[in-house]
Amino acid sequence: MADSQHPYEFDGFRLDPVGHELRRAGVPIALEPKAFDVLGELVAHAGVLRSRDELLDAVWGHRHVTPGVLNRSIAQLRRALGDDANHPRYIQTVHAVGYRFIAPVADTAHGLVDSASAKAAPVDTTEAACCPPESKPVAAPPASVAILPFADLSEAKDQDYFCDGLAEEILSGLTRVHGLQVASRTSSFRFRDSDIDAREIGRQLNVAAIMEGSVRKAGDRVRVTAQLIDARNGYHLWSENFDRKLEDIFTIQEEIARSVVAALRVSLTSPAEINFTRHAPRDMRAYDYYLRGRQLEGHTTNVAWHLAPQMFRRAIELDPDYAQAHAGLADALTELLLWRLAKREEVLDEALAASRRALALAPDLAECQVAHAHVLSLAGDHDAAVAAFERAIALDPKLYEAYYYFGRHCFANGRTERAIDLLESAHRVRPDEFQALAIAVGAAFGAGQPERARRLARTVLDVALHQIELQPENVRAYYFAAIMQLHLGDPEAGRRSIETALAMRPDDYGTLYNAACFYALLGEPDTALDLLDRSISTGEGFPEWIEHDDDLAALRHLPRFRALIARLDPPPLH
């Protein structure tokens, strides 16, 4: 703990290092000893960013503990202080770096610990105000931006799919600009309808600028308002209103993207880096159905996944030469096939035809290459799938889906080393998404690379626990955290996490399957097989994936496991 033995005071709290006691208004507040020590370290260095490693060293004395112990201490402190991870008054999270105590603190013997933060209320937590010169937080890259979902101002409030699609297209276009860092959709879109200050969003996402906007769509007219805000001070860098015909939406997207690039002083290496009109549909009704289909795909429910192909088919009827609609149809059908929500004979031929048509119309679109590769993968054409995936990456080296699905393809086909490399590349493209790296962890253990696996597991656990802090309802974060906690030697924490996930989503395939993996790794085969049975009974699951999943290796010799595999549809023919 910190060197000072004098009590600290902040916002009505009194922290006594000698008595190991926290009080508010004279009333003691119970804390676990390690949580108390974490608070002492943060308060003693108020205003200073303390890295996770620094806190683990100071409180636990070494780093041979799982990162989850620190996350649990922070969560307990927030409950005790009445703090909120999204609107912090005391403990601020700096994603993937550490924590900072941001309230004014007084050492009863020496006065203010952090004089800068005590100037006035509300607390100014900008870089200049909260940090002394010798210990500044990690600054956001100057050429970095987060695109928030656009607000729906349409009279009927029924255009959320259109607003999301507009923001996603701009976000996707900006990710292709060399030298510009763009926060992922996963990170940015959780601030939907939020009243959090732009400066706080910038700090949480570690970006220099925030773009937000609104859309009012009526008939064949659309009004888009967009503004770019400096996350350091909350001032506008750029704003514009666009009142145009609906058919001009792609030009609007391009103008907004180019304005963001110009405002952040990024140089385009080629005008083609931002081009929204090249493959635009001829019929705007087709675009409307396309956006509806993409939104349904993102819902990841059986009902939504069955409805998505209908939206893409309707888009194709209206505009047969709309390449993205064909790619969307291929994607939607392969997801049905992948998760056993449709039979091969029902969807494979249509998916192949759609992906081939998409490729014929737009061979230079990476998303069309990925759609075709994914279908080929499930059809068992390994060499052709690899060629298409590699072409997609060559066309767009920042396309997460290309690395992710290519990695899954290699893993399902026993090409473990390449799968790990690809899944790591996917994580580098989207560092706040943990699923790709979680798959790589299991693959690395299976490949006999335990050190690499544990290194990856620590990263996955950090990201997953951070997501739990921000979104306590995120069941995926709980079950991936559970498996990582087990890998890192904290089975009891893992058991708590997996039981929380099962309580939240007891009938969800992903939850049940990953719980089966957890208990197989824990050495409880009967529980694992019960959960695997329940997961397969949902009607979902990919046979080749289950066969090669190293997390289930301890079950493979058991007759019951073989019987469960036999219940699945036969694997794709090669």
Indicate if 532 and 471 belong to the same structural domain: yes
Q: Which of 273, 302, 325 is the last residue of a domain?
A: 273
Residues 236, 291 within the same domain: no
3-class state of residue 112 by DSSP:
strand
105 lies in the same domain as 74: yes
Q: Are residues 472 and 512 in the same domain?
A: yes
Query: Residue 190: what pLDDT?
Result: 84
Domain holding 88: CATH number?
1.10.10.10
Helix, strand, or coil (residue 219): coil
Q: Tell me which of 94, 112, 135 is where a domain ends.
A: 135
DSSP SS3 for 14: strand
Question: For residue 574, what is the domain's CATH number?
Answer: 1.25.40.10
Is the Cβ–Cβ distance between 199 and 234 less than 8 Å? yes
Q: Rounded to 5 degrees, what angle do the CA atoms 279, 227, 257 make?
A: 25
Strands (E), 351-411: none
How far is C-alpha 563 from the geometric centre of its chain's CA atoms? 36
The total of structural domains in the chain comes to 4
CA atoms within 13 A on the CB side of 34: 17
In whole angstroms, give the CA distance from residue 243 to residue 241: 7
Length of the chain: 574
| H helix or E strand, kind and range, residue 239 | strand 236-245
Structure tokens at 318: 């209206």
- pLDDT reported for residue 414: 87
What is the pLDDT at residue 129?
A: 31
Return the number of other C-beta atoms located less than 10 Å from residue 95's C-beta. 19
| 165 lies in the same domain as 235 | yes
Q: Is residue 410, in this structure, part of any structural domain at all?
A: no
Co-location of 261 and 312 in the same domain: no
Residue 128 lies in a domain: yes
Whether the Cβ atoms of residue 309 and residue 348 lie closer than 8 Å to each other: no
Q: Is residue 228 situated within a structural domain?
A: yes
Residue 560 sits in the same domain as residue 428 = yes
Residue 411 lies in a domain: no
Does 300 lie in the same domain as 261?
no
In a domain, 3, yes or no: no
Check whether residue 439 and residue 566 sit in a common domain: yes
Structural domain includes residue 317 = yes
Separation between Cα atoms, residue 8 and residue 534, nearest integer Å? 53
Q: What is the pTM of this model?
A: 0.71
> Using CA atoms, how far apart are residues 274 and 466, in angstroms rounded to an integer?
33
pLDDT at position 65, please?
56
Same-domain status, 241 and 314: no
Q: Is residue 442 in a domain?
A: yes
Distance CA 113, CA 2 (A): 12
pLDDT per residue of the chain (574 residues) written in tens, 0 to 9? 455 568 899 988 999 988 889 998 888 888 888 889 999 999 999 988 888 878 888 887 754 555 567 877 888 898 888 888 777 889 998 866 788 999 998 876 555 555 344 333 333 333 333 333 333 445 788 899 999 999 999 888 889 999 999 999 999 889 888 888 898 888 898 888 887 888 888 988 889 999 999 999 988 899 999 999 999 888 999 999 999 999 999 999 999 999 999 999 876 655 556 778 888 999 999 999 999 999 998 886 778 889 999 999 999 999 999 999 999 999 999 989 887 788 889 999 999 999 999 999 999 999 999 999 999 999 999 999 999 999 999 999 989 999 999 999 998 888 999 999 999 999 998 888 899 999 999 899 888 999 999 999 999 999 898 888 777 888 999 999 999 999 999 999 999 999 999 999 999 999 999 999 999 999 999 999 999 999 999 888 777 778 878 889 899 999 999 999 888 755 443 3
Judged on CB neighbours under 10 Å (0-12, 13-18, 19+), 115 is middle
Please identify, among 135, 160, 182, the residue that sits at the C-terminal boundary of a domain: 135
417 within a domain of the structure (yes/no):
no
Do 435 and 375 sit in the same domain of this protein?
no
**Tokens 């219940």 label which residue?**
567
**pLDDT score, position 323:** 97
Q: Where in the sequence is the domain holding 127, given as residue range(s)?
A: 8-135
Same-domain check for residues 24 and 48 = yes
